[in-house]
Amino acid sequence: MSRVGKNQVVVPEGVNFSVDGRILSVKGKLGELTEEITDLVKIEYNDNRVSVIPANTDKDSLSQWGLVRSLINNMVVGVEDGFTKTLEVNGVGYRAATEGDILQLQLGYSHDIKVAIPKEITVKCSKPTEIVISGASKQKVGQFAAEIRALRKPEPYKGKGVRYSDEYVRQKEGKKK
């Protein structure tokens, strides 16, 4: 039994939830998200509550049960409140800035790195060493943050690089004479 899948998803007021065959669409104040779900689970929507039920009792249906419930919950939370990831840029001369729909990064390489910002994501650089990524889709926000972090991962000796604001990088001791 899935402990996650048993729980119902409560759809708040102001959020439109619709099921059209295997296509789910959720519309709220922060945008609209659509997702195609597998036919291994069934979706029931009534009284502003969404229930996910496995179609069979086989292993594949039960493994998709909690996943689909989590995806639906993330869609509802995303269009209502949104998701944010905060990145910190640490290092001498390392900085970030936004110019329109392009994120410009100086990360210690011989050239500036320019990354195109997807349309459904907003990026703000309130400080030159802080990047705030926000949007309605948890997957797209997390993926874009991971791509930015991968450009210069934090190194364990001086702590230089791009890290999440809540990430802890353990410092190693350097060479001794």
| Chain segment 120-162, per-residue pLDDT in tens | 999 999 999 999 999 999 999 999 999 999 999 999 999 899 9
For 12-24, how does the pLDDT look when each residue is reduced to its tens digit (9 = 90+)? 998 999 999 889 9
Weakest mean pLDDT among 56-65, 89-98, 125-134, 155-164: 56-65
Whether residue 61 is predicted with pLDDT greater than 80 in this model: the reply is yes
Sheet holding 161-164, edge to edge: 121-124, 130-135, 83-90, 161-164
Give the dihedral of Cα atoms 149, 153, 157, 159; nearest 10 deg.
Answer: -10
Q: Which domains does the chain have, with CATH numbers?
A: 9-80 (3.90.930.12), 83-164 (3.90.930.12)
Tokens representing 103 are 């994120």
Please enumerate in sequence order all residues whose Cβ is within 8 A of that of 12, keeping only pairs 6 or more positions apart, or say none.
Answer: 48, 76, 80
Q: Count CA atoms within 13 Å of residue 115 on its CB side.
A: 21
Whether residue 29 is predicted with pLDDT greater than 70 in this model: the reply is yes
Taking the model in full, what pTM does it have?
0.90
Q: How confident is the model at residue 74 (pLDDT cuts 50, 70, 90)?
A: very high
